[in-house]
Amino acid sequence: MNPIRSTDLPFEPCPQVIKLQDVCLSIEGKTILNNLSLETKVSRLGVVGRNGSGKSTLSRVLSGLIEIRSGTLEVAGCNPFKDRKAALRNIGLLFQNPDHQIIFPTVIEEIMFGLRQLGQSKKQAQQNALATLVAFGKEHWQDAHISTLSGGQKHLVCLMAIVAMKPNLIILDEPFAGLDIPTKKQLQRYLNAFPGTLVHVSHDPSDLDGYDQLLWIDEGKVVAFGPAQEVLPTYLEEMHRIGDGDDISQLAD
């Protein structure tokens, strides 16, 4: 049973277009994204790859936190780096570590913050924050201090703060890292209820069960992109092949 239904939300987003054409990005002279191109419009897009493949950097590019060096980018109808107002309205980003995202001491203040950034009055932001808590069945959390919450509860506060802003697309950067199985399963139910587009970056393919498409990247390049049921078996086969080897012994240049 889902703890929240899409019909409980005060808005009804739909799948969003994501377009990247020859996107390149270097950081401190190292190429992170290398001529990366794709175009899609699905509800659920998973991004897989080994550590250091460029997954987390891609999530920050898609959310507008990092500017690309070259190429073109469109996410939910805008270039998220160049049009920050549109990105703020349309795109949410859930970090791996909620402590890197949370600013305020109480739950209601944290949820109100994004709404105030959108230009809402304090009264309006408070009303909408409470409406979001009610939709999630967590109205009793409003005065709770963040310091008293578990890691999973902090993740949920971050998700509620994002949903309150009514985005069309949410980017998830390893949101289940460090969570135990029950907490992960509960958080996953909340995410599955979101009716807009989810772009989920994960090293664990089991997190992406039921997703429409998978993007597999390595060294900032597209290895494969397409229906999840086609890409996933090839990805898993390659990961097991590498695991049977010994590249852990190789030192970086």
Whether the CB-CB separation of 112 and 105 falls below 8 Å is answered with no
Of 3-12, 107-116, 225-234, which range is least confident? 3-12
> Does some domain include residue 253?
no
> Does some domain include residue 3?
no
> Does some domain include residue 252?
no
> Does some domain include residue 173?
yes
> Does some domain include residue 251?
no
Q: Residues 85-88: contacts with CB within 8 Å, 24+ apart?
A: 87/63, 88/114, 88/117, 88/118, 88/165
DSSP single-letter state for residue 67: -
Whether the CB-CB separation of 196 and 13 falls below 8 Å is answered with yes
CATH code, 236 = 3.40.50.300
Alpha carbons 115 and 130: distance in angstroms, whole number:
12
Residue 44 has pLDDT above 70, yes or no: yes
Q: What angle do CA 222, 44, 165 make, to 5 degrees?
A: 115
**For residue 98, how many C-alpha atoms fall within 13 Å in the half-sphere facing its CB?**
23
Number of domains in the chain: 1
Question: Cα–Cα distances in Å, from 50 out to 112, 122, 229, 243?
Answer: 36, 43, 19, 11
> Does some domain include residue 1?
no
Question: Cα–Cα distances in Å, from 35 out to 24, 143, 148?
Answer: 5, 47, 45
Per-residue model confidence (pLDDT) at position 243:
85
Q: How far is CA 161 from the centre of its chain?
A: 13
Average pLDDT over residues 116-136: 95
- Residues paired with residue 154 on neighbouring β-strands, in sequence order: none
Residue 131 has pLDDT above 80, yes or no: yes
Q: How far is CA 112 from the centre of its chain?
A: 20
Question: pLDDT grade, residue 21 (50/70/90)?
Answer: very high
Question: pLDDT grade, residue 20 (50/70/90)?
Answer: very high
Sign of the dihedral through C-alpha 47, 50, 56, 57:
negative
Supply the range of the domain harboring residue 60.
10-95+104-246
Report pTM. 0.88
> Does some domain include residue 218?
yes
> Does some domain include residue 76?
yes
Average pLDDT over residues 67-92: 93
Tally the residues of the chain: 253
